Amino acid sequence: MTSSPSGAVVFLHAHPDDEAIFTGGTMARLAGAGHRVVLVVATGGELGMPSGMVGVLSGEELRARRRDETAQAAEALGVSRLEFLGYRDSGVAGDPANHAPGSFFSAPADDVAGRLATLLREEEAGALVVYDEHGIYGHPDHVKVHVVGHGGARQAGTPIVYDATVDREYLHFVETHLVVEASGADTTLGLAASTIGLPTVAVTTTVDVRDVLAVKRAAMACHGSQIPETASALRLPTQAFTAVYGWEWYVRHGPPGLLDEL
């Protein structure tokens, strides 16, 4: 057993539903083992408007709905504290929303890092979870999470930062994955042929979440505005769902910590 710093594990995510897709199993396992799990969501996800809701919900209505969905998912995952930073969804790369007033992408990185550092100190955080330097699939808000997360950890003296990612070589067989659909990547040759995530050699920490996969799936399903029961992921047979979503991957910066012990 490795020795881990005490304190909460804080997860910083870009949008509602990211926490369930990329780290839901890890969060559930940590909470189940008695550790304090804190979820921080940077934006309201106002631009994640499914085609069936265009003209039905306004951006503010979707923001409120997604906040409620996140609260439900957080409860399912055993989250002890949920915080929203209140920035606006910046949209995909090149979208005018990237530079709109109040967008997460346009927010001064030092200011966001300072807000995060305050929370990390309050929680006496032993570890912070963000995304890899490419934001897993290049979304501007995901890349910003990496930048401000590492900056906040430095300011707060948080000893370990884990970059959530996906192992694209393990997922070589995947042509249907929520991250693929979000990125619009061409995966006709499988996820390994894409630039999503990282190669296996770059992954330092793999968490087996198969024993809490029902909890992870339930948390994903809480985000019904984005992941309805008709979504490709939730229509997968149990064996296929397990193969795709039963592991979560990280790049650790710092000494071994709680995620390495799971």
For the chain, what is the domain count?
1
Residue 38 lies in a domain: yes
Pick the range with the lowest mean pLDDT from 16-30, 86-100, 187-201: 187-201
pTM > 0.85: yes
Residue 221 lies in a domain: yes
Mean pLDDT for the stretch of residues 245-249: 97
Instruction: Identify the band that residue 191 occupies on the pLDDT scale cut at 50, 70 and 90.
Output: low
Read off the CATH number of the domain in which 251 is found: 3.40.50.10320
Percent of the chain with pLDDT over 70: 89
Q: Write down the pLDDT at residue 195.
A: 81
Residue 2 lies in a domain: no
pLDDT in tens, 24-48: 999 999 999 999 999 999 999 999 8
In what order do the strands lie in the sheet containing 37-43? 81-87, 37-43, 9-13, 127-131, 161-165, 247-253, 205-208
Q: Write down the pLDDT at residue 164.
A: 98
CA nearest to 215, candidates 82, 39, 80, 73:
73
Residue 179 lies in a domain: yes
Q: Kindly state the tokens that stand for 85.
A: 């930073």
Residue 128 lies in a domain: yes
Residue 4 lies in a domain: no
Residue 1 lies in a domain: no
For 32, the domain range is 9-255
Residue 3 lies in a domain: no
Instruction: Identify the band that residue 58 occupies on the pLDDT scale cut at 50, 70 and 90.
Output: confident
